[in-house]
Structure 1
Amino acid sequence: MSNNTMKHESEFELVENPDALAERLVQSEEFVVRHKNLLIGLFVAIAAAVVGGFLYYQNQQTKNQEALAAMFQAEYYLEADSLNKAMNGDGQNAGFKTVADEYGSTKAGKLANFYAGVVSLKQGKYQEALDYLEEFKSDDLLLQARAYSLQGDANLELGKKEEAAALYKKAADHKANDFFSPQYLMKAAVAYESANQYAEAVEVYEKVINDYPVSPEVNDAKKYKARAEGLAKK
């Protein structure tokens, strides 16, 4: 007899036979009595998890608003190219460093890491820039791609040319688009050339030419590709 047939017969017995239904209810009641403490503990744990999750969400929302407010003046200083004040604050208003340290788990705090990375790059502090940028994570795909590219810049300045090229390619592939992707690919190709990896550079130039044929970078890609092919043969 199949499992489905046995299941249907059992359900039919419960509907048609009051004694069977009563017996099933008694069994259920006995189970509850035997495992009362376990069930209570389970319900309490579920309730605590729900309440805890709600409170955590509310707290994160509050902290995110605090971080945005704290970062407002720092953004102004960055636009004004007052890099030290943007990073460290002005004595009254926090800088990106403080916001990133205190609110790093929030969206605004992660954005502060991005800005701190930008400031560090401008100041020539390349390892510090890399550390901040690696902490940045965002569901804004274009901004995340930009962060990968900036990590590439930091690596390139640190002499890590292959790592830089890989990050530029990662930026290009992250939500690939006709405007930014060819720019990132060109940076990757140049990084490969500076590492004397001309065959890899040729492949990247070809990707620009084939995948982004109407981009402004195509003419340079064709020209540099020919040069890289010549160097690869030497």
Structure 2
Amino acid sequence: MSKKEKETPILADEALGKSEAFVLNNKKTITGVVLAVVLLVVAYLGYTKFILEPQNNEANKAMVVAVQNFEAGNHAESLDGDGINMGTRAIADEYGNTKAGNLAKAYAGLSLAKQENYEEAIQYLEDFDGDDAIVAQKVKHALGNCYAHTGDTDKAISLILDAANSANNEAVTPFCLRDVAAMYEQQGKTAEAVELYERIKKEYPSCVLVLTGEIDRQLNSAK
């Protein structure tokens, strides 16, 4: 056996001894840290179970009528309630830390946009937190259009292009690209607009915008 092999067990024993000594010397500190972590976990679980979940349930119930009003085109009632049921503005403000409350922010922003209150719509749409390929990107698209209405076209284009690329699906992307193309036309950027119209035709040939001939009309107009 080599000298190195003989020394290895001794060095390992020494290391183990040092570890044990550290634990013994810092027992109170380690126990305190572990206890603090346990208390934080328990507090989080308690908050989620007994506060957040009940609030989310309440917000979900309140959202039912608000969403029905939105889908029926009753945007004022969807936003501010009907005298009996809460509107999305109040739901977002009161339950904004819940999933349902977060969704209420999107609906509130969309209702405000429908009423051409773009500045306030931006506040609610900006506050919405989502990253899925459909809802979150549609909200971002709406946010971009709100910025366009306030005169910030460059920010609008940036947001809507990001929504188009993040979504990468027929339900969202063609509509985003169409709106950006229209903004490019307004800026006199005809080549960029044509490129986006042609991209829609190439990548989303079964999209309703293509099937109804809208993109061809826009393309011919741009050229």
Q: Is contact 1:107-1:138 (8 Å) kept?
A: no
CA distance in 2, matches of 1:191, 1:25: 69
CA distance in 2, matches of 1:76, 1:223: 35
CA distance in 2, matches of 1:69, 1:31: 55
What is the one-letter code of the residue matched to 2:222? A
CA distance in 2, matches of 1:107, 1:141: 17
Shift of 1:56: 3.0
Residue 111 (structure 2) aligns with: 119
Distance 1:226 1:43, change over 3 A: same
Residue 141 (structure 2) aligns with: 149
Q: Is contact 1:162-1:191 (8 Å) kept?
A: no
**Residue 60 of structure 2 corresponds to residue 73 of structure 1:** no
Of 112, 119, 127, which aligns to 1:135? 127
Residue 207 (structure 1) aligns with: 199
Shift of 1:138: 2.3
Across the two proteins, how many residue pairs are aligned to each other?
216
Q: Which is higher, the Rg of structure 1 or of structure 2?
A: 1
What is the one-letter code of the residue matched to 1:167? L
Equivalent residue of 2:129, what SS?
coil
Residue 36 (structure 2) aligns with: 45
Distance 1:50 1:202, change over 3 A: same
Shift of 1:99: 0.8
Shift of 1:40: 1.6
Residue 25 (structure 2) aligns with: 34
Of 48, 64, 77, which aligns to 1:57? 48
CA distance in 2, matches of 1:44, 1:200: 60
Shift of 1:187: 1.3
Of 88, 96, 100, which aligns to 1:96? 88
TM-score after normalising by structure 2: 0.82
Calculate percent identity across the aligned residue pairs. 34
Distance 1:136 1:41, change over 3 A: same
Residue 180 (structure 2) aligns with: 188
CA distance in 1, matches of 2:83, 2:207: 46
Which residues of structure 1 form unaligned runs of 5+? 15-19, 230-234
Equivalent residue of 1:40, what SS?
helix
Q: Deviations over 1:166-213 (max 9, x none)?
A: 222222212311343212211110111112222321232232233224
**Residue 190 of structure 2 corresponds to residue 198 of structure 1:** yes
What is the one-letter code of the residue matched to 2:142? L
What is the one-letter code of the residue matched to 2:92? A
TM-score after normalising by structure 1: 0.78
Q: Deviations over 1:123-163 (max 9, x none)?
A: 11011111111111224420111101111221222222232
